[in-house]
C-alpha cells in the first residue's frame, strides 16, 4: 500500500544543502509526489523535464543504438535540475545554482536506489 505522506517525507530528506525540492513524476509529466517549496513550480518543472526526458530517451534509442537514458542534468542561471529513473517513474531534484552537479547526481542516485524496490513493487502490483 502506498503511503503518500511517507513518500513525501522520504523525498524531503534530500532537501538539504541547497536542494529546493524533490519530485516524483510519471512519464507523462503528472506529479506523483512532491516535497519542497511551492507545489505550483513543481508541476511546471515536472511537465517540462518529463517532456525533455521522453524526447531524449526516444532519440537516444534511434541515434545511439538503443542506448538507455539514465541521467539528465540541467544547469540554468538560477537553478540546477537532475532527473533519473526509478522503476517506471522519474525522480527529479531541483537545486540552487551553487549546488555541485556531482552532489546533486549522487543524492539523486542514492534516493533512486532507496525508492527502487518499493516503487517496483507498486508498479508490478
What residues pair up with 82 in beta bridges, in sequence order?
73, 93
**Ramachandran region, residue 80 (left: φ > 0; alpha: ψ -120 to 50; beta: rest):** beta
65 binds another protein per the rule CB under 8 A: yes
64 binds another protein per the rule CB under 8 A: yes
* Dihedral in degrees, nearest 10, Cα atoms 58, 63, 67, 69: -40
Residue 117: CB minimum distance to another protein, A: 21
Task: Name the residue nearer to another protein (CB basis): 6 or 61.
Answer: 61
In the complex, which residues of this chain contact another protein (CB under 8 A)? 41, 44-45, 48-49, 51-52, 55-56, 59-60, 62-65, 67-79, 81, 94, 97, 101-102
Amino acid at each position: 500500500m502506498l503511503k503518500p505522506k511517507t513518500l513525501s517525507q522520504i523525498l524531503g530528506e534530500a532537501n538539504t544543502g541547497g536542494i529546493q525540492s524533490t519530485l516524483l513524476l510519471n512519464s507523462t509529466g503528472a506529479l506523483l509526489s512532491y516535497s519542497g517549496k511551492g507545489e505550483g513550480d513543481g508541476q511546471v518543472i515536472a511537465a517540462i523535464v518529463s517532456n525533455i526526458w521522453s524526447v531524449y530517451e526516444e532519440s537516444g534509442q534511434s541515434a545511439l543504438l538503443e542506448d538507455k537514458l539514465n541521467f539528465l542534468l540541467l544547469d540554468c542561471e538560477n537553478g540546477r535540475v537532475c532527473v533519473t529513473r526509478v522503476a517506471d517513474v522519474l525522480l527529479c531534484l531541483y537545486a540552487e545554482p551553487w549546488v555541485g552537479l556531482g552532489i546533486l547526481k549522487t543524492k539523486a542516485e542514492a534516493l533512486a536506489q532507496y525508492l527502487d524496490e518499493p516503487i517496483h513493487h507498486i508498479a508490478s502490483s
